[in-house]
C-alpha cells in the first residue's frame, strides 16, 4: 500500500490531516465545547507558548545574512582559517539591536546598539559580540546586573527612570567615556546601516608559530556615519517605532547591500606592559596614533531571513565561541561574558540552542553531549555517549593544541578594579574625544542632549545626583561642565566650590 503524502494538506504538528480549522466541536450549535477537540487544544497551547523569554538586554533587534571577504593578509598575526587567503569568503549572520529597551521599544531610542556577528567557518562558528561603541560603561562583570537594572524599569513606578541612570553613572565614574558617546548624536544612529561596529573587548590572535598578539576589531560603515539629532530621533519615534528594522530590510530587498570595512588594531604582549593604561579595560580605547588600524576585509549583508523568529529571534551569540587561531584576553568584562552569554541562551531557548539552524555549525560537530529539551539532530544515534571508548572514530587532533599561557600574577584576591596607576583615570580619554574628535556642532548637540537627559532626574536626591555628575563633567572639561550646569539652572560657583573641595 503506497504511503499517502501530506504535502500542502492542513495537518496538526504530528502530521494528522484535519479539516475544521475555524469551528470548535460543540454539543449542538450553541452548546459547550467538547474536551476531545484536540485541534483546539493544540492551537491554543502553541499560541500560549509562541513567545520565548525575550533577551534581558538587546531584546529588540534586526538581522541579516551575508558574506565576509578577506582583502588583506594578516597571517603574520593569526592562523585562523577564516583569514587564510585573500579573496576567501565566509558566510555570516549579523544581528543589530538596541540594548536597554524591550521588544516593543522604539528603534531610535538614545541607547547603545548591539553589533553581533556569527562567522560560519570550517573550524566551527566564531561569534564576535560587540556594540556600535568601542568602550562600555563598566569594567568588571560583577557590576553588570546592577548597571542593567538602572537601564530598565523602576521597581516601584515600573517606568524608565533618568534618576536611577544618573545616580548610578554619577557613582561610577568609569562610565563617563561611554556616557559621553551615548549623549552625543552617536547615541541615536540613523538605522543600523550608518553606524560602525566594534568588538569592544580586547581579544587575542595566535599565528602558526604559536606567537600571540592582542587585538581590537573595528567595522567601519561604508555607507558613512549618519545620526539623528535628539529632536529627529523623537520625531521618528512617533512616526515609526521600527525604523531601523524597516530600513535594513528594505535596503537589502532592493539590492542596496550594506557593507562594513573590517579592520584590527594589534598590540604585542610586550607593548601591553608598557602602555600607560590598562589595555584590557573595556572603558578605554587604544589610541590609533599608537596602534593604527590594519585592513582585513569587507563584510556585506545581502540576504534577509525568510522568517524573523526563526533566524533573528532565535539567534544566539557568545564570545566564548572562538576558532583555532583566535583567543581571549584578561579583559574582565569579556571573561564574565564567556560564562553569562551561553548561560542566557540555555535559559531562553534551551540546552540545545546550537542545533537551531541559524546557530548550527554547518560543518562537522562531534562530541558526547546528549539529550536535553528539543534535541533534534539524532542525539548521537547508536554511538557511545562517553569518552574514551572502543567504538567510534572521533579523534583528538593535536595540531589544534593551544599554546600555554604565562600569567602575570600567582595570587588570587579581590582587587580594586581601579587600584593600579592609570586605571583610575576616567577623564582624559573622554576629554580627548570631546575636545579633539567632536566638531563644534557635535559638541553643542552632546551638551544639549546631556542637559535634556539630566533634566529628567527627580526626587529628594536630585541636587546630590546632579552635582555629583557635574563634578565628573568638570573634571573632563570645564566648558562642558559649565554649560551643562547652566542648562540645568545650577549655581556654577557653588558647584565649582564643591568641585575644588573634592580635590
Which residue numbers are catalytic? 58, 131
Phi, psi torsion values for 243, nearest 5 degrees? -55, -50
Beta 294-303 vs 259-268: how paired, if at all? antiparallel
- Is-contact 280 420, C-beta < 8 A? no
- Is-contact 265 288, C-beta < 8 A? yes
CB atoms < 10 A from the CB of 116, how many? 24
Beta bridge partners of 66: 92, 301
User: Which three cell numbers, joined as nine digits, stand for 373?
Assistant: 529539551
CA-to-CA distance for 473 and 467, rounded, in angstroms? 10
CA-to-CA distance for 406 and 159, rounded, in angstroms? 48
User: Which three cell numbers, joined as nine digits, stand for 316?
Assistant: 544566539
- Is-contact 52 44, C-beta < 8 A? no
H helices within 309-412, ranges in order?
332-349
- Is-contact 310 82, C-beta < 8 A? no
Grouping H, G, I as helix, E, B as strand and the rest as coil, residue 37 is: coil
Closest by CA to 116, choosing from 295, 344, 373, is: 344
- Is-contact 348 55, C-beta < 8 A? yes
Amino acid at each position: 500500500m503506497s504511503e499517502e503524502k501530506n504535502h500542502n494538506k492542513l495537518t496538526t504538528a504530528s502530521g494528522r490531516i484535519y479539516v475544521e480549522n475555524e469551528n470548535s466541536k460543540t454539543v449542538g450549535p450553541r452548546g459547550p465545547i467538547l474536551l476531545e477537540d484536540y485541534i483546539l487544544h493544540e492551537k491554543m497551547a502553541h499560541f500560549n507558548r509562541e513567545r520565548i523569554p525575550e533577551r534581558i538586554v538587546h531584546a529588540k533587534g534586526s538581522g541579516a545574512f551575508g558574506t565576509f571577504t578577506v582583502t588583506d593578509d594578516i597571517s603574520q598575526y593569526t592562523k585562523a582559517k577564516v583569514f587564510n587567503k585573500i579573496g576567501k569568503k565566509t558566510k555570516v549572520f549579523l544581528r543589530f539591536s538596541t540594548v536597554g529597551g524591550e521588544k516593543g521599544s522604539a528603534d531610535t531610542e538614545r541607547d547603545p546598539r548591539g553589533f553581533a556577528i556569527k562567522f560560519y567557518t570550517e573550524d566551527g562558528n566564531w561569534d564576535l559580540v560587540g556594540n556600535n561603541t568601542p568602550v562600555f560603561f563598566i569594567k568588571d562583570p560583577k557590576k553588570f546586573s546592577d548597571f542593567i537594572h538602572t537601564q530598565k524599569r523602576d521597581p516601584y513606578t515600573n517606568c524608565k527612570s533618568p534618576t536611577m541612570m544618573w545616580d548610578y553613572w554619577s557613582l561610577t565614574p568609569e562610565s563617563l567615556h561611554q556616557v559621553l558617546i551615548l549623549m552625543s548624536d552617536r547615541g541615536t544612529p540613523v538605522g543600523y546601516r550608518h553606524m560602525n561596529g566594534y568588538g569592544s573587548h580586547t581579544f587575542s590572535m595566535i599565528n602558526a608559530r604559536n606567537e600571540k598578539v592582542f587585538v581590537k576589531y573595528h567595522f567601519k560603515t561604508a555607507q558613512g556615519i549618519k545620526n539623528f539629532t535628539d529632536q529627529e530621533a523623537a520625531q521618528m519615534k512617533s512616526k515609526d517605532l521600527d525604523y531601523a528594522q524597516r530600513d535594513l530590510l528594505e535596503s537589502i530587498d532592493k539590492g542596496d547591500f550594506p557593507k562594513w570595512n573590517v579592520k584590527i588594531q594589534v598590540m604585542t604582549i610586550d607593548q601591553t606592559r608598557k602602555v600607560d593604561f590598562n589595555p584590557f579595560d573595556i572603558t578605554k580605547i587604544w589610541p590609533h596614533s599608537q596602534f593604527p588600524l590594519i585592513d582585513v576585509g569587507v563584510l556585506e549583508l545581502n540576504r534577509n531571513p525568510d522568517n524573523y523568529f526563526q533566524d533573528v529571534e532565535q539567534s544566539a551569540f557568545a564570545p566564548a565561541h572562538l576558532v583555532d587561531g583566535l583567543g581571549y584576553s584578561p579583559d574582565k568584562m569579556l571573561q564574565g561574558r564567556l560564562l553569562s552569554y551561553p548561560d542566557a541562551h540555555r535559559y531562553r531557548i534551551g540546552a540545545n540552542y546550537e542545533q537551531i539552524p541559524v546557530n548550527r555549525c554547518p560543518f562537522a560537530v562531534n562530541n558526547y553531549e546528549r539529550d536535553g529539551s528539543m534535541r533534534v539532530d539524532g542525539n548521537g544515534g547508536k554511538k557511545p555517549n562517553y569518552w574514551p571508548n572502543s567504538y567510534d572514530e572521533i579523534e583528538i587532533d593535536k595540531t589544534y593544541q593551544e599554546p600555554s599561557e604565562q600569567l602575570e600574577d600567582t595570587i588570587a584576591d579581590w582587587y580594586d578594579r581601579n587600584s593600579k596607576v592609570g586605571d583610575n583615570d576616567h577623564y582624559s580619554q573622554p576629554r580627548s574625544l570631546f575636545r579633539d574628535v567632536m566638531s563644534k556642532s557635535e559638541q553643542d548637540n552632546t551638551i544639549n542632549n546631556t542637559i535634556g537627559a539630566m533634566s529628567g532626574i527627580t526626587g529628594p536626591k536630585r541636587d546630590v545626583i546632579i552635582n555629583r555628575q557635574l563634578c565628573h563633567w568638570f573634571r573632563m572639561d570645564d566648558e562642558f561642565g559649565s554649560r551643562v550646569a547652566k542648562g540645568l539652572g545650577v549655581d556654577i560657583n557653588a558647584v565649582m566650590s564643591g568641585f575644588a573641595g573634592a580635590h
